[in-house]
Every structure is written in structure tokens, then in C-alpha cells.
Chain A
Amino acid sequence: MIFPLYPLDAFGYEASLVAGTLLGFAFGFVLERSGFGRAPVLAAQFYFADTRVLKVMFGAIVTALLGTTILAGAGVLDYSLLTVPETFLWPQLAGGLLLGVGFIVSGYCPGTAVVAAGSGNLDGAMTVAGVMAGSLLYGFFHPWVAEFEMSGAMGVARLPDLLGVPQALLAAGVAAMAVGMFLGAEALEKLFARRRGGGPLLAPVPRNWVFIGIALASLGGLGTLALEPPAPAAAPAPRVVRIDSLTLARTLVESPDSVRLVDVREPAACEAKRIPGAMCLPADDPGGSFLADLPPTRRLVLYGAAELRALPGPAARFGGPVLVLAGGFAAFETAILTAPVAPSPVTPEALARFRLVSALHAKFTGAAAAPPPPAPAGPARVQPRGPKKGGGC
């Protein structure tokens, strides 16, 4: 797996902002060349005069969908690391309807309004101002909609999982549906153009090449199904995946709800001293048979006195991901529960690591303050990784 780069730590936070700017630039440029910085071009969609909104949008969706499907099927892309917007059925249904109305009233959608503003179109700039005002209004009146906002919550709900259809097959289906819609839209364009007495707008040449490309990519996606035995069907047995002390400590501080930490040493040893936040095996269940029945909503992290070489039987039957702490309790004690030693020689990397460990050490031991760093210092900053989820657009 080499993709996606950022979630796999190929580069840091600052570089991600540069990458984001460049991707946005390409996004804005293509939208402009599609004509989407111009309200009359966009509005024409809703009067069947020029259905390029539909063509560009579904062309883009089909391209990205087939691309990710093929790359994931070929084992180059870890699909599980892609951010999938969560489903909240009713607010998304109502929000879509409302956004559609706003689209035809203003002539833009929020992204294209930004492009329009960049093209010098004051109506686009006005729409951006409206979107900002609308967002604020929503925030100020949030208590009134808070309940509706959460209705129909389904978490991450992807169609292949809901329908039980392999992704490649569904992607080919979406591609076929899109081509059908394109042909239907062109027929409508011709019909309405004849009524107005205008001519057709498009030459058919690039279109057919794009259709051939879509068909070939759909076949390519289906071909990846043959690469592996029914990939998603065979539930992989939980492998022993290791997590190091520093990563675990950061996870416990940054997102304590994402893991469930269990100390599988003798209950007495655990009661005496354990990693803060860990649960001990109950005295009446020293084998930990409850582990198999824990809800798989959090990752399960286990540790013993030293590194666990195999999972306890019940943990192997746990429904979600299971990790073991590399080096066990001993390693965590050395890495985090013991005060770190100031680095020498002082390199930027060593200093950053020292600050991070000091901050974590202070958090876990309740030490009043970390020892002062040996150079001009800012507070240790635990950098969040990965684009934030939610509110994606």
C-alpha cells in the first residue's frame, strides 16, 4: 500500500497544507474551464438548455470512483483510510433540497461561487458572502435544529456494504447509469433546442472516446475482482498488530474514545500499577472471556508485562481490530512513565521528541510540569494527523 499518502504519514502537516492548496488550485482551474464560474452556464442545467453540470459532475464521480476502485483492487490504495462522509439521512435529504433551491436562485453552488469570485464576477462574490452568512445563521440558531441535525444517523454507510454488492460491480453499474443519463440529457437538450430553434451545442467526438474509456475502466475494475479470492467475504483473522508506547500514549491523550485498553497481567499486578486508562481483568474472569463480546466500536489494545506473542483466545474472537503494545508494560514504563532525559546533542528532531515525551509524561504521571527544555521553547504541541472528519465540504 502506498496510497493514500498523508494518512500513511508520507509527509507532515505543513506539507499537507501545500498539497491542499495545489489540489484546490487544480480544482478551481478545471471548474473555471468547465464554465462553472459563470452563473448563466450553471443555471442552463435546470432549463435543459445545456446539461454540462450533470455531465461534468457525473463524469468526475465516475472517474474518481473507477480510479479508486481499480487502485484499491490492485492493492495500491488502502480504501479503509479514505474519509467517507457519515450519513445522516433526514438532514442530508432536507439540506440537498434546500441547497438545490439556493443553487438556482443564486446561480452557483458554494465551490463554483468561489471560482466565480476569482473570475471577477461580483454575483459570485455575493454568493460567497451569502454562504458565509448562512453558515453563521445556522450556528446561531443551532439549538433549534440540533435534534433534526442528528436524525437518521447511520454512521459510515456505503452502498456496497448496504447492498452486499462488490464495489467493482457497483462502480460499473454507476458508470453504465451515468452514460445512460448523459445520452438522455443530450436527447433532452436536442428536444429543447429544437423548440427554441437553436442548434446543438456539442460535437460528438471527444464524447465517444470518454465513453470508451469509462467502459474500459469499468472492465478493469471488474478485472481486479479476479485478482484475489472473494476479497471482502473472507473475514481476515485478527493479526497481531503492534503499537508502540509513544503512539499509544498520544492516542490515549488525543482520542481516548478510539481505543479500549486492557491490562491482561495478573489482576493483582494490574491493580497495583497500570497504564492510566487501562482496565484490569476482573478477578472472577481472569481468562478475559468478556473480551470476545466487547462491542467492536473501539480498537482493542492489550498489554502484558512484556510483549504478548499471541492473543489470548477470547481476544482473537473480538469483532474489531486488536493491537498489542510493543514491549508490554515494561516498555511503556520506560518510555512514558519515566521522566525523559534531555537530549544531547540537541537536534531539532530530538528536541521535538523530547518535548512530546515530556508533555505525555506529565499527562500520565500527573507531574506538575515537564522539565524545562534545553533550548528556546514553545509548548510541546501534539499535532493532529489526517484531515479532520465531518463538515467535509
Chain B
Amino acid sequence: MPHQKLWNPYVAGVALGLVLLASFLVMGNGLGASGAANRAAIGAAYVVAPDTVGHDPYFAKYVGPGKNVLDDWLVFEVLGVFLGGVVGAYSAGRLRRGILMGPRPMPAWGRLGLALAGGILMGVAARLARGCTSGQALTGGSVLSLGSWVFMMMVFAGGYLAAPLVRRQWR
């Protein structure tokens, strides 16, 4: 039962809040995630197709002569998130390669396909909203930004609206 090794959610909430508070006090900025994924993706695309990406007006803010798309504190922060995930899972004895799914067995490709599809939706959504659950909901929510609160309510709305459609994946 992995549940027994999880922190109590109220304690975890306060702990996460203290990390977020530390980020505000040290960096003047909250935490993020999708911005780094965006930069990593643009960097990878630039290596594969420098002409197509370099001449696109949207991507030109990120890549081009004298610019390093990965030279951003958010990229380092998300690198830290990954390492934190590794150490957290290892020290709790649950660092192992696998595919997590609900109680009903489903083919691996099905679960991975849904994970990819959901990821693509979130990638588009995070660009549109200028952030994800970390950068908008947590960070913007803590500094009482109107748009962030609208975003957060809509995340829960979207999740609950779509939940019945993918119920077989999870329950």
C-alpha cells in the first residue's frame, strides 16, 4: 500500500506552501513547470530543424544567434523537481520503472497513449494560459491574481467534466 508512505495531505500542503514561500522570498517569483518543458521542446526542435524554427517569429524570442533557450532559472528549477522526484521516490522505496494505471488492467500502449494525449492537451493549454497548475494556480493563486484564480477553478471544472468520460481508466 503506497498510501501508508504518503504524507498526510494537510501536512504536505503546509510543506509545499513553505517551499513556495521560500521561492517568493529568495527569487521574488513562485514555482513553475510547463515553461521549462516549452523551452526544452523549442531547444530540441531547434537542434533538429534550425532553419524552420529559427525563422518562425514566435520561436525567434527563444532561439537565435546569441540566445540559449535553456539559459533560464525555470529550466534549472524543473531539473531540481526531477531530482527531487528521484530522491523522494528512492527514499520511500518506490523508485522503480513501471507504468501506473487504475485497478482495471489495460494494455500498456493504451495507458501511454492516454498519457501522451493528455500531455499534448496540457502543453497547448499551458501556453494559452501562460502557465500550468504550478505557475498559475499555485504561484498566481498565492499572490491573488484574478486570472490565476479563474484558471484554477477552470482546471477543477475541466477535470470533473471529463472524469466520467475516462472513468474506465481510473476506477
Which residues of chain A have a CB within 8 Å of any CB of chain B? 3-7, 16-35, 37-41, 43-47, 49, 52, 54-65, 67-68, 71, 77, 81-89, 91-124, 126-140, 142, 145, 148-149, 154, 156-160, 162, 167, 170-171, 174, 182, 201-203, 206-207, 210-211, 213, 386-388, 390-393
Please state if B126 and A55 are interface contacts (CB–CB under 8 Å).
no
Given contacts A47-B171, A77-B25, A109-B133, whether A61 and B17 have CB atoms under 8 Å apart is yes
B76 A17 Cβ-Cβ under 8 A: yes
| Set of chain A residues within 8 Å of B141, measured between Cβ atoms | 61, 65
| Contact (A64, B24) CB under 8 Å given A101-B121, A127-B118, A159-B144 | yes
Q: How far is the CB of A200 from chain B (nearest CB, A)?
A: 12
CB-CB contacts below 8 Å: B1-38 with A: 2-3, 6-35, 37-38
Q: Are A139 and B127 in contact (CB under 8 A)?
A: yes
Q: Is the CB of B25 within 8 A of A61?
A: no
Interface of B is mostly: helix
| Minimum distance in angstroms from B50 CB to a CB of chain A | 14
Contact partners of A157 in chain B: CB under 8 A: 145-147
Tally of A-B residue pairs with Cβ under 8 A?
Answer: 602
Query: In the assembled complex, which residues on chain B have CB atoms less than 8 Å from the CB atom of A27?
Result: 16, 19-20, 23, 31, 77, 80-81, 84, 134
Task: Flag if A60 contacts B29 (CB, 8 Å).
Answer: no
CB distance from A357 to the nearest CB of B (A): 21
B31 and A102 contacting across the interface, CB-CB below 8 Å: no
CB contacts (< 8 Å) of B153 on chain A: these are: 96
Is the CB–CB distance between A65 and B142 below 8 Å?
yes
Determine whether the beta carbon of B123 is less than 8 Å from that of A138. yes
Which listed residue (B27, B31, B119, B160) contacts A130, Cβ 8 A?
B119
- Contact present for B17 and A60 (CB under 8 Å): yes
With a CB–CB cut-off of 8 A, which chain B residues contact A45?
159
| A154 partner residues in chain B, CB cutoff 8 A | 146-147
Q: Tell me if B117 and A130 are in contact (CB < 8 A).
A: yes
B contact residues vs A (CB 8 Å cutoff): 2-3, 6-35, 37-38, 40-42, 44-45, 56, 58-59, 72-74, 76-89, 92, 94-102, 111-112, 114-163, 166-167, 169-171
Known contacts A20-B73, A26-B19, A158-B143; is A40 also within 8 Å of B14 by CB? no
Residues on A with C-beta less than 8 A from B96 are: 120
Query: Are A159 and B127 interface neighbours, CB within 8 A?
Result: no
Q: Are A201 and B3 in contact (CB under 8 A)?
A: yes
A43 to B160, CA, bound (A): 10
Instruction: For B141, give the chain A residue with the smallest CB separation.
Output: A61
- In the complex, what residue of chain A is closest to B40 when comparing beta carbons? A132
Q: Is the CB–CB distance between B147 and A34 below 8 Å?
A: no
The answer on a CB contact under 8 Å between A24 and B79 is yes
- 10 nearest CB pairs, A to B: A59-B13, A130-B119, A134-B123, A393-B135, A100-B158, A28-B84, A63-B17, A24-B80, A106-B118, A118-B85
Which A residues touch B97, using CB under 8 A? 120-122
CB-based contact B118/A108 at 8 Å: yes
